[in-house]
Homo-oligomer: A and B are copies of this chain.
Protein backbone atom coordinates (compact mmCIF):
# COMPACT_ATOMS: atom_id res chain seq x y z
CA UNK A 1 0.00 0.00 0.00
CA UNK A 2 1.00 3.55 -0.59
CA UNK A 3 0.66 6.32 1.97
CA UNK A 4 -1.03 9.66 1.67
CA UNK A 5 2.17 11.66 1.87
CA UNK A 6 0.96 15.05 3.09
CA UNK A 7 0.10 15.52 6.77
CA UNK A 8 -3.60 15.95 7.63
CA UNK A 9 -4.99 19.36 6.74
CA UNK A 10 -3.67 22.23 8.84
CA UNK A 11 -1.01 20.17 10.65
CA UNK A 12 2.69 20.16 9.89
CA UNK A 13 5.66 17.86 9.86
CA UNK A 14 8.61 19.57 11.54
CA UNK A 15 11.85 19.05 9.58
CA UNK A 16 15.34 19.19 11.17
CA UNK A 17 16.01 22.87 10.57
CA UNK A 18 12.82 24.08 12.23
CA UNK A 19 13.05 21.43 14.96
CA UNK A 20 16.46 22.83 16.00
CA UNK A 21 14.86 26.26 16.45
CA UNK A 22 11.97 24.78 18.41
CA UNK A 23 14.30 22.91 20.73
CA UNK A 24 16.42 26.01 21.23
CA UNK A 25 13.34 28.04 22.19
CA UNK A 26 11.94 25.30 24.44
CA UNK A 27 15.27 25.08 26.28
CA UNK A 28 15.55 28.84 26.78
CA UNK A 29 11.99 28.96 28.11
CA UNK A 30 12.53 25.96 30.41
CA UNK A 31 15.77 27.31 31.84
CA UNK A 32 14.45 30.80 32.47
CA UNK A 33 11.26 29.83 34.24
CA UNK A 34 13.10 27.15 36.25
CA UNK A 35 15.37 29.93 37.56
CA UNK A 36 12.21 31.64 38.84
CA UNK A 37 11.02 28.51 40.63
CA UNK A 38 8.40 27.42 38.08
CA UNK A 39 7.68 23.68 37.86
CA UNK A 40 6.85 22.09 34.52
CA UNK A 41 3.82 19.80 34.27
CA UNK A 42 2.14 17.89 31.42
CA UNK A 43 -1.43 16.82 30.81
CA UNK A 44 -2.72 14.27 28.27
CA UNK A 45 -3.66 15.43 24.78
CA UNK A 46 -7.05 13.79 25.20
CA UNK A 47 -9.57 15.30 27.62
CA UNK A 48 -13.08 14.29 28.75
CA UNK A 49 -15.66 15.61 26.30
CA UNK A 50 -17.72 16.82 29.28
CA UNK A 51 -14.85 19.02 30.45
CA UNK A 52 -14.19 20.40 26.97
CA UNK A 53 -17.81 21.32 26.33
CA UNK A 54 -18.51 22.88 29.72
CA UNK A 55 -19.09 26.33 28.22
CA UNK A 56 -15.93 27.91 29.65
CA UNK A 57 -14.05 27.46 26.37
CA UNK A 58 -16.02 30.07 24.43
CA UNK A 59 -15.46 29.97 20.67
CA UNK A 60 -12.91 27.18 21.04
CA UNK A 61 -15.66 24.69 21.87
CA UNK A 62 -16.84 24.86 18.27
CA UNK A 63 -13.37 23.79 17.14
CA UNK A 64 -12.97 20.56 19.08
CA UNK A 65 -11.53 17.47 17.42
CA UNK A 66 -13.79 14.77 18.88
CA UNK A 67 -12.44 11.30 19.65
CA UNK A 68 -14.89 8.45 19.16
CA UNK A 69 -16.00 5.90 21.68
CA UNK A 70 -14.77 2.39 20.96
CA UNK A 71 -16.11 -1.16 20.88
CA UNK A 72 -19.33 -1.99 22.68
CA UNK A 73 -19.74 1.56 23.94
CA UNK A 74 -19.65 2.92 20.41
CA UNK A 75 -22.14 0.31 19.20
CA UNK A 76 -24.50 1.20 22.05
CA UNK A 77 -24.22 4.93 21.35
CA UNK A 78 -24.92 4.42 17.64
CA UNK A 79 -27.93 2.30 18.35
CA UNK A 80 -29.38 4.78 20.82
CA UNK A 81 -28.41 7.87 18.82
CA UNK A 82 -26.26 9.07 21.75
CA UNK A 83 -23.11 11.22 21.64
CA UNK A 84 -20.49 9.20 19.70
CA UNK A 85 -17.46 10.91 21.24
CA UNK A 86 -16.34 10.32 24.82
CA UNK A 87 -13.34 12.62 24.61
CA UNK A 88 -11.58 15.20 22.48
CA UNK A 89 -8.22 16.83 21.86
CA UNK A 90 -7.50 19.70 24.27
CA UNK A 91 -7.92 23.15 22.67
CA UNK A 92 -5.88 24.99 25.30
CA UNK A 93 -3.69 24.32 28.32
CA UNK A 94 -5.77 26.28 30.84
CA UNK A 95 -8.60 23.81 31.26
CA UNK A 96 -6.30 20.77 31.70
CA UNK A 97 -4.23 22.79 34.21
CA UNK A 98 -7.36 23.57 36.21
CA UNK A 99 -8.22 19.85 36.19
CA UNK A 100 -4.68 18.81 37.20
CA UNK A 101 -4.69 21.41 39.98
CA UNK A 102 -8.10 20.36 41.28
CA UNK A 103 -6.99 16.72 41.41
CA UNK A 104 -3.52 17.26 42.92
CA UNK A 105 -3.74 20.49 44.93
CA UNK A 106 -2.56 18.92 48.15
CA UNK A 107 0.64 17.49 46.74
CA UNK A 108 1.62 20.60 44.75
CA UNK A 109 3.63 23.57 46.07
CA UNK A 110 1.46 26.44 47.37
CA UNK A 111 1.44 28.82 45.58
CA UNK A 112 1.92 26.59 42.52
CA UNK A 113 4.13 28.17 39.84
CA UNK A 114 3.40 26.13 36.72
CA UNK A 115 5.00 25.96 33.29
CA UNK A 116 3.26 24.06 30.49
CA UNK A 117 4.48 23.59 26.92
CA UNK A 118 2.69 21.33 24.52
CA UNK A 119 0.48 20.97 21.48
CA UNK A 120 -3.18 21.95 21.35
CA UNK A 121 -5.68 21.30 18.56
CA UNK A 122 -8.35 23.49 17.00
CA UNK A 123 -10.32 22.66 13.87
CA UNK A 124 -9.94 26.23 12.64
CA UNK A 125 -10.04 27.16 8.97
CA UNK A 126 -6.35 26.71 8.01
CA UNK A 127 -4.61 29.91 6.89
CA UNK A 128 -1.13 31.39 6.75
CA UNK A 129 0.49 31.19 10.17
CA UNK A 130 -2.50 29.41 11.68
CA UNK A 131 -2.35 25.69 12.31
CA UNK A 132 -4.74 23.02 13.55
CA UNK A 133 -2.04 21.62 15.80
CA UNK A 134 0.22 24.19 17.43
CA UNK A 135 2.34 24.54 20.53
CA UNK A 136 1.15 26.62 23.44
CA UNK A 137 3.36 27.81 26.23
CA UNK A 138 1.60 28.89 29.42
CA UNK A 139 2.98 30.03 32.74
CA UNK A 140 0.62 30.41 35.66
CA UNK A 141 0.81 31.07 39.38
CA UNK A 142 -2.11 29.49 41.21
CA UNK A 143 -2.88 30.39 44.82
CA UNK A 144 -1.04 33.71 45.16
CA UNK A 145 -3.43 36.67 45.62
CA UNK A 146 -0.55 39.18 45.94
CA UNK A 147 1.10 41.16 43.16
CA UNK A 148 4.31 39.18 43.69
CA UNK A 149 2.73 36.83 41.14
CA UNK A 150 2.37 39.54 38.47
CA UNK A 151 5.93 40.74 39.08
CA UNK A 152 7.44 37.25 38.87
CA UNK A 153 5.52 36.47 35.67
CA UNK A 154 6.45 39.71 33.91
CA UNK A 155 10.08 39.58 35.08
CA UNK A 156 10.57 35.98 34.01
CA UNK A 157 8.95 36.52 30.63
CA UNK A 158 11.06 39.63 30.02
CA UNK A 159 14.24 37.73 30.81
CA UNK A 160 13.19 34.82 28.59
CA UNK A 161 12.53 37.10 25.60
CA UNK A 162 15.83 38.85 26.17
CA UNK A 163 17.70 35.54 26.15
CA UNK A 164 15.97 34.41 22.95
CA UNK A 165 16.38 37.61 20.94
CA UNK A 166 19.48 39.29 22.42
CA UNK A 167 21.67 40.89 19.78
CA UNK A 168 19.00 40.63 17.06
CA UNK A 169 16.58 43.09 15.48
CA UNK A 170 13.84 41.73 17.75
CA UNK A 171 15.59 42.40 21.03
CA UNK A 172 13.68 45.51 22.10
CA UNK A 173 10.21 45.02 23.46
CA UNK A 174 7.51 46.80 25.42
CA UNK A 175 5.31 45.34 28.13
CA UNK A 176 1.94 47.11 28.16
CA UNK A 177 0.26 47.00 31.56
CA UNK A 178 -3.29 47.84 32.57
CA UNK A 179 -5.93 46.66 35.03
CA UNK A 180 -9.39 45.41 34.12
CA UNK A 181 -10.79 47.42 37.02
CA UNK A 182 -9.34 50.67 35.61
CA UNK A 183 -10.72 49.79 32.18
CA UNK A 184 -14.11 49.26 33.74
CA UNK A 185 -14.04 52.40 35.90
CA UNK A 186 -13.13 54.60 32.92
CA UNK A 187 -16.02 53.26 30.85
CA UNK A 188 -18.50 53.71 33.67
CA UNK A 189 -17.15 57.22 34.33
CA UNK A 190 -17.80 58.09 30.67
CA UNK A 191 -21.42 57.00 31.07
CA UNK A 192 -21.60 53.66 29.26
CA UNK A 193 -24.22 51.24 30.62
CA UNK A 194 -22.72 48.54 32.84
CA UNK A 195 -24.34 45.65 30.97
CA UNK A 196 -22.72 46.60 27.65
CA UNK A 197 -19.12 47.10 28.80
CA UNK A 198 -17.82 44.03 27.01
CA UNK A 199 -18.87 45.53 23.69
CA UNK A 200 -17.28 48.88 24.62
CA UNK A 201 -13.97 47.08 25.20
CA UNK A 202 -14.20 45.16 21.92
CA UNK A 203 -14.52 48.51 20.11
CA UNK A 204 -11.78 50.18 22.16
CA UNK A 205 -9.49 47.29 21.22
CA UNK A 206 -9.68 48.52 17.59
CA UNK A 207 -8.15 51.91 18.49
CA UNK A 208 -4.73 50.97 17.06
CA UNK A 209 -6.23 50.01 13.73
CA UNK A 210 -9.06 52.44 13.06
CA UNK A 211 -8.20 55.43 15.28
CA UNK A 212 -10.47 57.48 17.52
CA UNK A 213 -12.76 58.57 14.73
CA UNK A 214 -13.28 54.98 13.68
CA UNK A 215 -14.00 53.81 17.21
CA UNK A 216 -16.52 56.62 17.74
CA UNK A 217 -18.26 55.78 14.48
CA UNK A 218 -18.65 52.15 15.49
CA UNK A 219 -19.89 53.14 18.93
CA UNK A 220 -22.59 55.27 17.38
CA UNK A 221 -23.51 52.45 15.02
CA UNK A 222 -23.91 50.17 18.06
CA UNK A 223 -26.32 52.67 19.59
CA UNK A 224 -24.05 54.18 22.25
CA UNK A 225 -24.45 57.89 23.13
CA UNK A 226 -22.13 60.24 21.23
CA UNK A 227 -21.47 62.15 24.46
CA UNK A 228 -20.28 59.01 26.23
CA UNK A 229 -18.02 58.14 23.31
CA UNK A 230 -16.49 61.64 23.26
CA UNK A 231 -15.99 61.75 27.01
CA UNK A 232 -14.46 58.26 26.97
CA UNK A 233 -12.04 58.77 24.09
CA UNK A 234 -10.83 62.09 25.49
CA UNK A 235 -9.70 60.26 28.65
CA UNK A 236 -6.98 58.54 26.67
CA UNK A 237 -5.38 61.93 25.89
CA UNK A 238 -4.58 62.40 29.57
CA UNK A 239 -0.93 62.52 30.53
CA UNK A 240 0.38 58.97 31.18
CA UNK A 241 4.06 59.63 31.86
CA UNK A 242 3.56 60.01 35.60
CA UNK A 243 2.31 57.38 38.01
CA UNK A 244 -0.77 55.29 37.42
CA UNK A 245 -2.14 56.80 40.64
CA UNK A 246 -1.83 60.28 39.11
CA UNK A 247 -3.54 59.18 35.90
CA UNK A 248 -6.39 57.60 37.83
CA UNK A 249 -6.85 60.41 40.39
CA UNK A 250 -10.17 61.44 38.79
CA UNK A 251 -11.54 57.90 39.24
CA UNK A 252 -10.44 56.91 42.70
CA UNK A 253 -13.01 57.23 45.37
CA UNK A 254 -15.70 56.84 42.71
CA UNK A 255 -15.73 53.67 40.63
CA UNK A 256 -12.17 52.65 41.54
CA UNK A 257 -10.46 51.67 44.77
CA UNK A 258 -7.23 53.58 45.47
CA UNK A 259 -5.25 50.40 45.91
CA UNK A 260 -5.76 49.39 42.26
CA UNK A 261 -3.56 52.08 40.63
CA UNK A 262 -1.11 51.96 43.55
CA UNK A 263 -0.75 48.25 42.99
CA UNK A 264 0.01 48.80 39.28
CA UNK A 265 2.63 51.42 40.21
CA UNK A 266 4.34 48.90 42.48
CA UNK A 267 4.26 46.19 39.79
CA UNK A 268 5.78 48.54 37.22
CA UNK A 269 8.46 49.81 39.61
CA UNK A 270 9.44 46.27 40.63
CA UNK A 271 9.68 44.84 37.12
CA UNK A 272 11.79 47.86 36.14
CA UNK A 273 14.11 47.23 39.08
CA UNK A 274 14.78 43.70 37.88
CA UNK A 275 14.64 44.33 34.15
CA UNK A 276 17.07 43.98 31.27
CA UNK A 277 17.90 47.24 29.45
CA UNK A 278 16.10 46.30 26.24
CA UNK A 279 12.68 46.12 27.91
CA UNK A 280 10.22 48.98 28.47
CA UNK A 281 7.30 48.71 30.91
CA UNK A 282 4.45 51.14 30.34
CA UNK A 283 1.02 51.76 31.77
CA UNK A 284 -1.36 51.53 28.82
CA UNK A 285 -5.01 52.37 29.65
CA UNK A 286 -6.07 51.28 26.13
CA UNK A 287 -4.96 47.68 26.69
CA UNK A 288 -8.04 45.43 26.70
CA UNK A 289 -7.01 41.75 26.32
CA UNK A 290 -9.92 39.91 24.78
CA UNK A 291 -10.87 37.38 27.40
CA UNK A 292 -13.67 38.35 29.74
CA UNK A 293 -12.34 36.20 32.57
CA UNK A 294 -9.59 38.62 33.64
CA UNK A 295 -10.27 40.23 37.00
CA UNK A 296 -7.25 42.47 37.75
CA UNK A 297 -3.93 43.45 36.16
CA UNK A 298 -3.52 42.54 32.48
CA UNK A 299 -0.40 42.71 30.33
CA UNK A 300 0.77 42.23 26.78
CA UNK A 301 4.24 42.18 25.23
CA UNK A 302 4.97 43.65 21.80
CA UNK A 303 8.30 43.37 20.03
CA UNK A 304 9.20 46.88 18.93
CA UNK A 305 10.29 45.71 15.46
CA UNK A 306 7.06 43.80 14.80
CA UNK A 307 3.45 44.87 14.77
CA UNK A 308 2.05 41.94 16.73
CA UNK A 309 2.03 40.91 20.37
CA UNK A 310 4.22 37.99 21.38
CA UNK A 311 2.76 37.23 24.81
CA UNK A 312 -0.09 38.29 27.01
CA UNK A 313 -1.88 37.50 30.19
CA UNK A 314 -3.30 38.74 33.43
CA UNK A 315 -4.99 37.91 36.68
CA UNK A 316 -8.06 35.67 36.58
CA UNK A 317 -9.13 35.02 40.15
CA UNK A 318 -12.50 33.40 39.44
CA UNK A 319 -11.93 30.81 36.73
CA UNK A 320 -9.86 28.09 38.42
CA UNK A 321 -12.23 28.16 41.38
CA UNK A 322 -15.23 27.59 39.11
CA UNK A 323 -13.50 24.53 37.67
CA UNK A 324 -11.96 23.22 40.86
CA UNK A 325 -14.87 23.98 43.17
CA UNK A 326 -12.75 26.08 45.55
CA UNK A 327 -11.67 29.74 45.32
CA UNK A 328 -8.21 29.97 43.82
CA UNK A 329 -6.50 33.26 42.91
CA UNK A 330 -4.59 32.87 39.65
CA UNK A 331 -2.39 34.89 37.34
CA UNK A 332 -0.95 33.74 34.03
CA UNK A 333 0.96 34.48 30.87
CA UNK A 334 0.58 32.82 27.49
CA UNK A 335 3.60 32.96 25.18
CA UNK A 336 3.10 33.00 21.40
CA UNK A 337 5.40 30.07 20.80
CA UNK A 338 4.72 29.64 17.08
CA UNK A 339 5.34 33.36 16.50
CA UNK A 340 8.65 33.10 18.33
CA UNK A 341 9.64 30.24 16.02
CA UNK A 342 8.66 32.25 12.94
CA UNK A 343 10.82 35.17 14.08
CA UNK A 344 13.78 32.95 14.97
CA UNK A 345 13.43 31.29 11.55
CA UNK A 346 13.48 34.63 9.74
CA UNK A 347 16.65 35.55 11.56
CA UNK A 348 18.44 32.28 11.02
CA UNK A 349 18.14 32.64 7.28
CA UNK A 350 20.46 35.58 7.58
CA UNK A 351 23.14 33.68 9.50
CA UNK A 352 25.39 30.77 8.49
CA UNK A 353 25.08 27.40 10.26
CA UNK A 354 27.76 26.32 12.74
CA UNK A 355 30.26 24.19 10.82
CA UNK A 356 32.15 22.39 13.56
CA UNK A 357 30.90 18.84 12.85
CA UNK A 358 33.13 16.00 11.65
CA UNK A 359 32.01 13.55 8.95
CA UNK A 360 33.91 10.29 8.47
CA UNK A 361 33.10 8.80 5.05
CA UNK A 362 33.94 5.11 4.79
CA UNK A 363 34.41 3.44 1.40
CA UNK A 364 32.32 0.33 0.78
CA UNK A 365 34.37 -2.82 1.34
CA UNK A 366 36.55 -1.50 4.16
CA UNK A 367 37.89 -4.30 6.35
CA UNK A 368 36.57 -4.96 9.84
CA UNK A 369 39.92 -3.90 11.28
CA UNK A 370 39.85 -0.55 9.46
CA UNK A 371 36.25 0.05 10.53
CA UNK A 372 37.16 -0.59 14.16
CA UNK A 373 39.79 2.13 13.89
CA UNK A 374 37.26 4.51 12.36
CA UNK A 375 34.69 3.97 15.10
CA UNK A 376 37.30 4.22 17.85
CA UNK A 377 38.33 7.56 16.38
CA UNK A 378 34.70 8.69 16.17
CA UNK A 379 34.22 7.78 19.84
CA UNK A 380 37.27 9.74 20.86
CA UNK A 381 36.21 12.84 18.87
CA UNK A 382 32.75 12.65 20.45
CA UNK A 383 34.25 12.28 23.91
CA UNK A 384 35.99 15.59 23.13
CA UNK A 385 32.63 17.24 22.50
CA UNK A 386 32.50 17.01 18.70
CA UNK A 387 29.44 16.14 16.66
CA UNK A 388 30.56 13.22 14.47
CA UNK A 389 28.69 11.26 11.81
CA UNK A 390 29.98 8.08 10.15
CA UNK A 391 28.53 7.53 6.67
CA UNK A 392 29.20 5.47 3.53
CA UNK A 393 31.41 7.28 1.03
CA UNK A 394 29.33 7.89 -2.09
CA UNK A 395 30.56 7.60 -5.68
CA UNK A 396 30.09 11.32 -6.23
CA UNK A 397 32.23 12.29 -3.24
CA UNK A 398 32.58 15.93 -4.22
CA UNK A 399 28.83 16.50 -4.21
CA UNK A 400 28.47 14.52 -0.97
CA UNK A 401 31.09 16.68 0.73
CA UNK A 402 29.49 19.93 -0.48
CA UNK A 403 26.16 18.87 0.98
CA UNK A 404 27.75 17.84 4.29
CA UNK A 405 29.49 21.22 4.53
CA UNK A 406 26.09 22.88 4.16
CA UNK A 407 24.76 20.67 6.94
CA UNK A 408 27.44 21.94 9.29
CA UNK A 409 30.16 19.31 8.85
CA UNK A 410 33.16 21.56 8.24
CA UNK A 411 35.65 18.71 8.68
CA UNK A 412 35.03 15.86 6.20
CA UNK A 413 37.47 12.94 6.10
CA UNK A 414 37.45 10.13 3.53
CA UNK A 415 38.46 6.61 4.57
CA UNK A 416 39.34 4.37 1.60
CA UNK A 417 39.09 0.60 1.89
CA UNK A 418 42.78 0.05 1.08
CA UNK A 419 43.94 2.81 3.39
CA UNK A 420 46.42 1.75 6.04
CA UNK A 421 45.82 4.08 8.86
A interface vs B, CB < 8 Å? 1-8, 11-16, 19-20, 22-23, 30, 34-37, 39-48, 50-51, 54-56, 65-68, 70, 84-87, 89, 95-96, 98-100, 102-104, 107-109, 111, 113, 119, 121, 123, 132-133, 144-146, 148, 151-152, 155, 159, 262, 265-266, 269-271, 273-275, 322-325, 357, 359, 362, 364, 368, 371-376, 378-379, 382, 386-392, 403, 407, 409
Contacts and interface: CB of A to CB of B under 8 A. Distances in A.
Given A68-B67, A148-B392, A35 B387 contact: yes
Contacts of A108: 15-16
A371 B12 CA distance: 45
9 contacts: A19-B40, A23-B30, A46-B121, A66-B70, A84-B84, A145-B392, A148-B390, A151-B390, A265-B368
Given A3-B102, A13-B41, 8 more contacts: A7-B44, A14-B43, A15-B108, A67-B89, A68-B84, A151-B375, A271-B375, A273-B372
B36 A379 contact: no
Contacts of A40: 16, 19-20, 23
Given A41-B19, A151-B375, A375-B155, A98 B3 contact: yes
Contacts of A274: 375-376, 378-379
Chain A contact residues: helix, strand, loop or mixed:
mixed
A357 B35 CA distance: 9
Given A3-B323, A35-B386, A46-B121, A155 B379 contact: yes
A146 B364 contact: yes
Contacts of A47: 8
Contacts of A46: 8, 11, 65, 89, 121, 132-133
